[in-house]
Chain A
Amino acid sequence: MGRLILNRLAASAFSLAFVVVTIFAITAALPGDVADTLLGQSATREATAALRHAMGLDQPAWVRFGRWVWGMLHADPGRSLMTGRPVAELVGPRLYNSLLLAAATAAVSVPVSLVLGLACTMARGTLFDRVVTLLMLGTVSVPVFLIATVAVFVFAVQFHVAPALADINAVHSPLQFIRVFLMPVVALAGATTAQMSRMIRACLIDVFSAPWIEMAVLKGVAPVRIVLFHALPNAIGSVVNAIALSLSSLLGGVVVVETVFNYPGMAGLMVDSVAARDVPVVQCCALIFCVAYLSLTTLADIVAAASTMRGRAH
């Protein structure tokens, strides 16, 4: 077991190394740099050259790469070129906000999709299953920005039931938390839940075709017990994997939701920083996203392995 975890971690570390190089390569290939951005329309050749020199952007790529990796190894992502402030200081609060949003979304979408996935599995082939399926497919088929935009217009502007902006500073009580986070979370959780419940349903149905499920039916075991006691323990590995995958694909929607609700999170920071060519911030954000994904899937893999290895260790 310990060996398996070590192996999995080593594999993830390799992936991470690849990601690190890729991220650096792409950011290095971006046309223009922060000097251009800072000077904007007033950039002259000599002004940008001088600024570039002052910022150390004129050093060869490998030197910058080495310095960056060295810094990251010491948990020091460097300074933002745009603002001159430490990247950690810039990213920190945003990371917190993003985690908060992600946690809230996961807290909604994981239980909902588990219940939906289970319900659809047990009622597969029925009208209920079909309606839920159609609904879920419909949800993933409409761009998130449209869902979010329509939701804000309807609920904030027309009915005044929720604020148009997710103002995190306005949160002082659990009720306010719900009020502020309701719409962003719903917009985000929609597509995630749809995807997740479909995947969970697929995993469970896979398990349901096993002979021991038939055996349980023939033993006269109640359907709820079959699902919870017989199917779930065997599906847990793939279900956890499905959850990890869906949660990580949530990031696409995060950019949109952060923009539409003006929520200060990581994705928006990264998009801004790409635009501003604030490379240290971009790299830091991208790395955090990748690490989040990799650790999520690694964790899922380990959970999956642990669940299938139960009893087999002896």
Chain B
Amino acid sequence: MTHMISVRGLHVVGRRGDGGEVPIVRDVSLEARRGEVLALVGESGSGKTTIALALMGYARAGCRISGGAIAVAGHRVDQMDAGELRSFRGRTISYVAQNAGSAFNPALTLHQQVIEPALAHWVLPRRDAERRAIELFRAMALPHPETIGARYPHQLSGGQLQRLMAAMALITEPEVVVFDEPTTALDVTTQIEVLEAFRTVLVHRGITGIYVTHDLAVVAQVADRAVVLRHGAVCESGDTPEVLARPRTPYTRELVAACHLPVRPKGLDPAVDAASGTAPEPVLTLSDIVVGYGRVDANGLPAHRILDGIDLSVTRGRTLGIIGESGCGKSTLARASAGLQPPAAGTVRFRGETLAGRVARRTPEQRRRVQIVAQNADLVLNPAWTVGAILERVLRFFHNLRGAVARAEALRLLDIVQLPHAVFDRRPPELSGGQKQRVNFARALAARPELVLCDEITAALDPVVAAAILTLMSDLQETLGLSCIFITHDLHALRAVCDRVAVLLGGHVVEQCDAAALMRGAHHPYTRLLVSSVPEMRPGWLDEVVAQRSAAAAPFVPTAVGEGCPFVSRCVTRIAGVCERVRPPVVATADGGRIACHLPPGDLPVLAPGNSTIDA
């Protein structure tokens, strides 16, 4: 018995609405040795999670394991009955779910849930289980390991929950742990901590891991071997460095390529504009925008602010990128610009014209000029309408086009976004994610806008598709001369399409700079953290980053963030007594950037090109 996990000829089928069955996983064979981490890599729909669950003898509602031999730690999973499965799951093999926020029962304390496997399998008496849980919490570098278990899931952050879930998976000391995209829902800065915690326990305890992910950079950090899946079948497998460095199949090559997005070709900077004699003309200008909720104070400002004192402008024909972690106010910024969420203070100007805060008060012409392309194409396109109807409605609304003219124009728009005409009569649910996002784009273009607000348009897409969308966007902007605001949490995407970048944190812009300057020169400490946290597809990268960070001064006791810098609680270079009290001044940098930090410009962290291979 050399293999801890051995799967031979696995087939999983799903039931269709009409009662027939469709294959989801076809003839998959794989194995993993004891103590090894095996990555299952693939896009959505590749069957990677289905295979991982099949290892636990589990198939989701509507699915069925229809064939194959599954052996885990010497057990034939495919031959177990319900009782055997119950004592096998959680004991021999355990599971870390993708979204810990929803995989924890909201009504129970974390402690109850974490020790439950140990109690359910009679592994440990309650008291010992609690003790071991605390040990694991500590090993996972969770704050307050003694008391954190008494809390409820909604009281903790995503990264903490993800680590708690790993603790729960490990409490029975299983032989195998299945990680199902455990860091996908996390911000890059958090991802590093979680990845490190996982890796440490796996290595120390000699546990065999199955790591399900779509992110090759993560694979590079955690997995010994990788299996690339496509359409439910194995595409390629081998040792991780091998697969990443020398992909053998076209599909894997495509995947790898999607991780190396080309940087926006023309590094435009204001100096060039100045040289060409055209003054940079701002299209959209946001001044001192405040958006929030809750009680309104004497100045008419809300108590809880999502955006606070935002000053930004978009230059004509250029793309402004906005980057930040979840909850920093990125999307609110787009919605405030579009008038969907009226600001409590500040003004939105479009080519000098002040726009009303509320969309209903804007003129049709003003509404036409600013179009929004939102993140989730599933929610953005009305599923009851055909694509043609969606486009024609906009054409009719803004341009009063009807009948054959409108149809011709709609078809032309489909051409522009590179969709076949057959899409015209389909409805959104019949389209793929990439197609939907293209339709979403076409709809915005139908208004013939001057500014397009793109809110996380690639977040829900697989890397290959996302890359294509980004290329399309760049091309369109070029050919149509559009101005854009591109909101994202993905540094790769940002650099692929943007001319200028604003870094958003806690509702404040902490830094603005040219996209080209993002990887070099002095930056805000947060920007540095952000940039250095983006995983690289280079084995060993994680070790370097971790080594670097632990070398730096141990971070901070968090204090209440008042008027001070939003980054103060995580900043390793903070100036005690100042940063948490005083709002940082905005300092202009040599290459046209603006940084809000108390540090003297000379002390700002510098990103050296060698520090990062992101340009490579």
Contact = CB atoms under 8 A, between A and B. Distances in A.
The answer to whether any beta carbons of A and B sit under 8 Å apart in the complex is yes
Interface of A: 210-212, 214-222, 225, 229-230, 233-234, 307-308, 310-312, 314
Contacts of A230: 105, 108
Contacts of A211: 97, 99, 102-103
A220 B102 contact: no
- 7 tightest A-B CB contacts, nearest first: A220-B90, A311-B152, A219-B90, A220-B89, A233-B107, A218-B95, A212-B105
B57 to A, nearest CB: 10
A218 B56 contact: yes
Nearest to A237: B107
Contacts of B151: 311
B98 to A, nearest CB: 8
Interface string B85-129: 111111100110101001111111100000011001100000000
B155 to A, nearest CB: 7
A220 B152 contact: no
A33 to B, nearest CB: 53
A215 B107 contact: no
A311 B155 contact: yes
Given A311-B109, A311-B152, A219 B103 contact: no
Given A218-B58, A220-B88, A233 B108 contact: yes
B60 interface: yes
Interface of B: 53, 56, 58, 60, 85-91, 94-95, 97, 99, 102-109, 116-117, 120-121, 151-152, 154-155, 168
A286 to B, nearest CB: 39
A308 B105 CA distance: 11
Nearest to B104: A212
Residue among B105, B108, B121 having the largest count of chain A Cβ atoms under 10 Å? B105
Nearest to B109: A311
A234 B105 CA distance: 8
Contacts of B95: 215, 218-219
Contact of A216 (B88, B105, B109): B105
Contacts of A218: 53, 56, 58, 89-90, 94-95
Contacts of A308: 106-107
B107 A220 contact: no
Nearest to A209: B61
Contacts of B117: 219-221
B94 A219 contact: yes
12 contacts: A210-B102, A212-B102, A215-B104, A215-B105, A217-B58, A218-B53, A219-B95, A219-B117, A220-B89, A233-B107, A234-B106, A308-B106
Nearest to A219: B90
A83 B340 CA distance: 65
Contacts of A312: 152, 154
Contacts of A314: 155
A233 B107 CA distance: 7
B375 to A, nearest CB: 21
Nearest to A210: B102
A225 B97 contact: no
A160 to B, nearest CB: 48
A222 B85 CA distance: 10
Contact of A214 (B60, B86, B87, B154): B60
Contacts of A221: 86, 90, 116-117, 120
Nearest to A221: B120
Nearest to B171: A219
B122 to A, nearest CB: 11
B22 to A, nearest CB: 19
